[in-house]
Amino acid sequence: MIPVFTIFFVIVILITAATIKHNTKEQDSVDSRFWEREHKANSTLKKDISNLKYITIPDEFFPSESDALISKEAENFLKLHGKTLLNLNGMTNTELKLNYGIMNFEKLASYDTNFLDFVSIVPDYCIWLADSCDEKDKAIKLLKFAKECDSDSKKIDTLYEKLLNS
């Protein structure tokens, strides 16, 4: 007679094998859909991007070049001067290519990177403005501008509320 343990072990092995086979089929299907979509995205030609919500930081927020020489925060913010920003949060590279074409991908990715740099630099720059330059109003105005650009940054939101209420 076959021991109960051996029967149990064989059943566990069979269940495990069936589960692995099922999961492999599902993953193959997911992979296949991804690569089909990616191929379609890479085949999408240039589309009109003139209707996108481009962002240009107003000159009034930038420091003077002498301020940029004495402050790393001001120097970092000054690097954004004249750059185009575009908030593409929530969009994958595949979605970008599908919606706007492969020929626009690098340009849009660059604008998105500029926006991400803006969102990461603004809090430190605004703290510097408020604390070191006694320009709390300018800092609040810049934080408000960042919020209006849908920055989705807790650090910006928190600092905005803090400066408003202080």
pLDDT digits (tens, 9 = 90+) for 19-65: 888 878 888 777 788 888 888 888 888 899 999 999 999 999 998 77
In order of 29, 51, 79, 137, the CA distances from 71 in angstroms are: 53, 37, 13, 19
- Which two tokens mark 68? 């940029």
User: Can you list the residues of the chain whose pLDDT is less than 50?
Assistant: none
For residue 129, which of 56, 84, 76, 89 has the smallest C-alpha distance?
76
pTM (global) more than 0.85: no
pLDDT value for 62:
93
Q: For residues 118 and 54, what is the distance between their CA atoms, to the nearest angstrom?
A: 13
**What residues does each domain of the chain span?**
1-43, 54-164
pLDDT of 17: 84
pLDDT at 36: 87
